[in-house]
Amino acid sequence: MAQEPRRDDGGGPQDDCLFCKIVAGHIPATLVRESDTTVAFRDINPQAPTHILLIPRVHYPDAATLAAAEPAVAADLLRAAGEIAGEEKLESYRIVFNTGSGAGQTVFHAHAHLLGGRGMQWPPG
């Protein structure tokens, strides 16, 4: 396969990023859907009966940075989350963007958690 073009304007693949490796197909994942701009796959350590991660193909460290740089891709991510929630028959669900290690972010490639299929507490822990 052709080498990804190098992007110096942000968004280019990072060698040490787990989710860039999933986007590239170098690490396997249980894919739920793919588009030109996003990839969705099941979380390896699910916290609810449905726990799906949605990531942009481009690399940005968190959701707000993605939205500032490539708002159309951020919108694609949210639209896909809603469509998948429908496919998973979730009447209620939560979309979570952990941002910063203090909030539980462990992978610094923007991602949405789509969680559903059980009751949930508010506020979250």
Between residue 83 and residue 102, which ones bind Zn ion under the rule CB under 5 A? none
Residue 17 interaction partner, one of ligand AMP, Zn ion, none, beta carbon < 5-8 Å per kind:
Zn ion
Q: Which of 104, 98, 115 is nearest to 52 (CA)?
A: 115
Partners of residue 38 on adjacent β-strands: 56
Of these, 68, 104, 118, 124, which contacts ligand AMP (CB under 6 A)? 104
Of these, 66, 67, 74, 109, which contacts Zn ion (CB under 5 A)? 109
Partners of residue 93 on adjacent β-strands: 116
Which residues fall within 8 angstroms of residue 116, CB to CB, at 6 or more apart? Answer: 48, 49, 50, 85, 88, 90, 92, 93, 94
17-25, 40-48, 63-71, 92-100 -> range binding Zn ion (CB under 5 A): 17-25
Verify whether residue 111 is a known catalytic residue.
Answer: yes
CB of 20 to ligand AMP, least distance (A): 12
Catalytic residue set: 111
